[in-house]
Structure 1
Amino acid sequence: MSENDDHGPATTPARPLPAADRGLAEAVQEIERHVALGGWDGPVRVFALVSTRQALAAEPTLATQLAPEVLSQAADDAHHLTAVEQEGLPAATSLEELLAGLSWPATVDGVAVVVERVVLPSAAEEAMPTEPDAALEYLMAHPDRQDVRLAVGVLRAGGSWCAVRTRANDVDDAVAGGPDLVPGLVEAVAATLL
């Protein structure tokens, strides 16, 4: 993705980002668009983020697997990141349990997680039953519910970026982006890098 790509006002920050943050924002946006191609109702997906330059230096044959535009971007931008989807994630009963079981070698510069959630307005959440089955039934039947896809990336050196897409506005230029749109998930993903 180049700096000249137009992804609409929702994904374009109001002020320029520092180079490392821009690299992370671009990687998270690319991951979210990639996952969006598969449609909704997908599983949790986890990606290791690695410096493209460092990965190419360590493994020169990687150049044959990357698109020419990626190689060009990496040559021009020391902060360019390559996302590597993690296959065979450990079995977990919740996102929290999955994240708690992840750890990364020092060669991984960051992590991105993509998950779908159902959200309600605050007033509707207050009326939700406390019993889990009743709460799920209430949530799924509520007329104001919103299905959202959250893509959250965090760098080991600091910095985060979130991309949020709603099913009701399922187009690339309606994806919201920012460093702390989902603070709880940012914190949980960052903990995997400790």
Structure 2
Amino acid sequence: MEEADKLAAYLERLREEGLRLTAPRRVIIETLLDNLGRHLNARELMDLVQERDGTVGFATVYRTLELLVGLGMLNRISLEEGFSRYEVPDERMHVHLYCRFCGKTVHLPDEAEKEALVRSWMEGSGFILLPQTFEIAGVCAECRRCLSDESVDVAPCGKICRGRGNRRCRRIRGGNEG
């Protein structure tokens, strides 16, 4: 779908929900659509929106993000960074793999195939699949090379994260590994 068509679809959906089509909402949606494929956090989106319209405040950006997520028009992604990232969904089901040590994020290919698999699991249960994003934690090839023969469970963070204080590493933040 063309970006102009996506914008029209978003604006129409807001109308259908009885919501006002304010100039700030339009700028926020346009900015999201101009950054398809990126996993923006609220601050990154705010900076991009401010380049277009300096009058849009952070509270407006955040409320609009929450509104769009609630309507299923935007995916919220949690990569254990302490904040959420957002993306415009392009399919009903979207899968991300992310490295728990360096934060690298990749999309799984063949999402339609994976969606068909999930639908087959749901057959007979009475459930229908809703649009959603999955985040699956793991260790990328580069970080695995840093581990040598040690297992991920016992590798010291300093060896993996090289003392960078990587926020994504839950052991550095004192988080629970479970």
TM norm structure 1: 0.26
Tell which structure's C-alpha radius of gyration is larger.
2
- Judging by fraction of residues, say which structure has more helix: 2
RCO greater where, 1 or 2, for CA within 8 Å and sep 6 or more?
Answer: 1
What TM-score comes out, normalization by structure 2 length? 0.28
More strand by share: 1
